[in-house]
Amino acid sequence: MGAPTDEELSRPPMWRFWRALPPKGKAGVFFGSWYTSPIVDRVYGSIHGSELTRSLASITRFERMLVDEGALVVKFWMHLSKKAQKQRFRELEKSPGTAWRVTDQDWERHRRYDRFREVSEHALRETSTSEAPWNVVEATDRRYRNLTVGRLLLQMLQSRLAGRHKTQVRGAPPPPPPIDARDVLEEMNLSESLSDAQYEKKLPKAQGALNALSRRKRFLEKRACVVVFEGPDAAGKGGAIRRVTAAIDARRYDVVPIAAPTEEERAQPYLWRFWRAMPKHGHFTLFDRSWYGRVLVERVEGFAAEADWMRAYREIVDFEDSLVSAGIVVVKFWLQIDKKEQLRRFRERQKTGYKRFKITPDDWRNREKWKAYERAVCDMVDRTSTSPAPWHLIEANDKKWARVKIVQTLADAIEASL
């Protein structure tokens, strides 16, 4: 992991590590890692101690997620005394075949050895967790070092394969009883609507505002936007997405429909497929369904184990936090319709030739689980509506109302970020 490329620089710092994660069945060797930049930044004083602490806490949660998703995370810290390091550099510099390996930066950092040691020791203490402990290896003697690394690796692989590893313990605690959760959907006034005349006036105005914001210098250089569309079948997600994209330069958005994951995606942690679609500066990614599938369909249909969807709330909040910290505006829409309106739309779809493909037996089956889905939605809103990335509940029985509110909300969110 050398210097980041410009594609990497225009995305959240963790993007390049997600990009390089090994799929199931493979080993990824990271030479330079998510620890490098927090430690170096702290040594050189470009971040405060509290920022380092926050980084380390977020690393701890990232690694826990990897372990919960089935990865074995093995961390080696090769220790060399200041004296031994100097000697090693001198040795390498002597031979023309190895002299290139010692750079000015290496010597510069050598001069800060004590400070590096101090910060690194702190980092190691904070991140040596039971699920991903540090192995500190004395590296002065090459043979001892190599043998020790090999032995430790073998031992950790054996222990993991023998199943001496308990995921359940680290699962999220059971959810507290919902307090106001049920009310969230029930309190919505689904009779909100717009007349054709209001719609014809308000929609272009909101789209114009969104368009102007999307071309602002600060947005193009420092911001990006992730929009999540969730809602029951036939809630109008597709139509709303088209009203958003109509306002954005076609070269600057992607619409990502989320269906069953591909084989490559299944071989990675479940958030991997979303990371790979993250927009660079000045760009939008619109998700037609999203990572919330984990706590909606996967929960209700039992595709994910309880411990897995339970820990997802926390993982999702971490994920969205890391997007927001990197300047990505995260806007999440839940489009709500009532059961009667859904039936009306299903029947209409069956009557209209070019809409018939949209309705499948799955849609009718999901409908039978309406209550279970409502419960899952309420828990989701309760646990993942954060101030940097709140849920916006959209009354969608009237499509016109929903579309205008969505475009306006999105424009407001971007404006607030600039």
Q: CB-wise, 167 or 211, nearer to a copy of itself?
A: 211
**What single DSSP character describes residue 77?**
E
How large is the greatest C-alpha to C-alpha distance in the chain, in angstroms?
A: 82
Check residue 242 for interaction with a copy of itself (CB under 8 A).
no
Q: CB-wise, 25 or 174, nearer to a copy of itself?
A: 25
Q: What is residue 16's three-state secondary structure? A: helix
Rounded CA separation 40/31 (Å): 15
Q: What is residue 238's three-state secondary structure? A: helix
Q: CB-wise, 83 or 356, nearer to a copy of itself?
A: 356
Q: CB-wise, 28 or 49, nearer to a copy of itself?
A: 28
Check residue 5 for interaction with a copy of itself (CB under 8 A).
yes
Cα distances (angstroms) measured from residue 85 to each of 109, 119, 124, 139: 11, 17, 20, 10
Neighbours of 122 (CB within 10 A): 16
Check residue 25 for interaction with a copy of itself (CB under 8 A).
no
Using CA atoms in the order 194, 195, 201, 204, what is the torsion angle rounded to 10 degrees? 50
Phi, psi values for residue 47, rounded to 5°? -130, 155
Provide, rounded to whole angstroms, the least separation between the CB of residue 97 and a copy of itself: 5
DSSP 347-388: HHHHHSGGGGGG--HHHHHHHHTHHHHHHHHHHHHHHH--SS
Check residue 179 for interaction with a copy of itself (CB under 8 A).
no
Q: Per the structure block, which two tokens stand in for 135?
A: 């192995």
Check residue 354 for interaction with a copy of itself (CB under 8 A).
no
**Interacting span for a copy of itself (CB under 8 A) from 5-13, 62-70, 144-152, 331-339:** 5-13
Residue from 142, 164, 217, 251 binding a copy of itself (CB under 8 A): 251
Cα distances (angstroms) measured from residue 187 to each of 1, 112, 381: 50, 60, 14
**What single DSSP character describes residue 171?**
S
The count of residues interacting with a copy of itself (CB under 8 A) is: 19
Residue from 262, 353, 354, 416 binding a copy of itself (CB under 8 A): 262
Task: Tell me, residue by residue from 29 to 68, as one string, x for binding to a copy of itself by CB under 8 A and - for no binding.
Answer: --xx------------------------------------
Residue from 200, 264, 306, 362 binding a copy of itself (CB under 8 A): 264
Q: CB-wise, 49 or 204, nearer to a copy of itself?
A: 204
Rounded CA separation 410/333 (Å): 9
Considering only CA atoms, which of 320, 331, 334 is closest in space to residue 380?
334
Check residue 238 for interaction with a copy of itself (CB under 8 A).
no
Q: CB-wise, 77 or 346, nearer to a copy of itself?
A: 77
Provide, rounded to whole angstroms, the least separation between the CB of residue 25 and a copy of itself: 11
CB 389 within 8 A of CB 228: no
Check residue 7 for interaction with a copy of itself (CB under 8 A).
yes
Rounded CA separation 228/245 (Å): 13
Q: CB-wise, 80 or 267, nearer to a copy of itself?
A: 267
Provide, rounded to whole angstroms, the least separation between the CB of residue 215 and a copy of itself: 6
Number of H helices, E strands in the chain: 20, 7
Q: Per the structure block, which two tokens stand in for 297?
A: 């369909």
**Interacting span for a copy of itself (CB under 8 A) from 1-9, 36-44, 54-62, 147-155:** 1-9
Provide, rounded to whole angstroms, the least separation between the CB of residue 411 and a copy of itself: 14
Binders in 84-143 for a copy of itself, by CB under 8 A: 97, 100
Residue from 37, 58, 193, 211 binding a copy of itself (CB under 8 A): 211
Residue from 28, 208, 238, 302 binding a copy of itself (CB under 8 A): 208
Binders in 276-315 for a copy of itself, by CB under 8 A: 280
Q: CB-wise, 143 or 251, nearer to a copy of itself?
A: 251
The amino acid at residue 186 is E
Provide, rounded to whole angstroms, the least separation between the CB of residue 358 and a copy of itself: 16
3-state helix, strand, coil in the chain (%, to 5): 55, 10, 35
Query: Which residues contribute to the site for a copy of itself (CB under 8 A)?
Result: 1-2, 5-7, 31-32, 97, 100, 208, 211-212, 215, 250-251, 262-264, 280
